[in-house]
Structure 1
Amino acid sequence: MSQLLGLIAVGLVIGALARLVKPGRQRMSLLATLLLGVAGAVIGGLIADWLDVGSITELNFWGFLFALITAVLLIGIAEGAAGRRAVPR
């Protein structure tokens, strides 16, 4: 249970960092960004585990890096999808 709470806490930090790293103006809410950070932390941890350079249950450099990259990509995808819906045709 404590690992799950730790993963959520790290995910919130990853989401905040991803928002700072991603260039340009972001139209997403802070809550959506933080939730995508949690998703990025989970996916990044799984990628690190899959590449055998870390584990989803431990915090290390590679897991953190993969989580940050994944969160930035998820935020970009979400903004792109939201931007297409908002454009009148």
Structure 2
Amino acid sequence: MSIIWFIVVGLVAGLLARALMPGRQSMGLVATLLLGIVGSFVGGFIGSLFSPSRRVFDLQPSGIIMSVVGAIVVLLLVGWAGRGRRIHA
């Protein structure tokens, strides 16, 4: 049951991150789900930086708030990396 819960939290985190992020992100449901899952791991990493009881390099899923924060960070990084790839006509 934990895998299903992880997928649901990832989807909700991805949807919330896309809703909170200004601009248009053209991605489907699967990409939004993957964004939320990656955001969960990034949020867990960010949370472990501020928690003395966690080790930084332990990959662990985080709660919904840190998952959304992590997904926003991932969206910012993808947007920043994709800026130079635009073709100017």
Q: Which runs of 5+ in 1 are unaligned?
A: none
Larger helix proportion of the pair: 1
Residue 32 of structure 2 corresponds to 33
Spell out, residue by residue over 1:20-60, the C-alpha distance to the aligned partner (whole angstroms, 9 max, x if none). Answer: 0001222x31232331111111232344456268xx46x7x
- Aligned-pair Cα RMSD in Å: 2.7
How does the TM-score come out when normalised to structure 2? 0.68
How does the TM-score come out when normalised to structure 1? 0.68
Q: Which runs of 5+ in 2 are unaligned?
A: 54-59
Moved over 3 A (4+): 45-50
Residue 16 of structure 2 corresponds to 17
CA contact (8 A) 1:7 1:41 kept: no
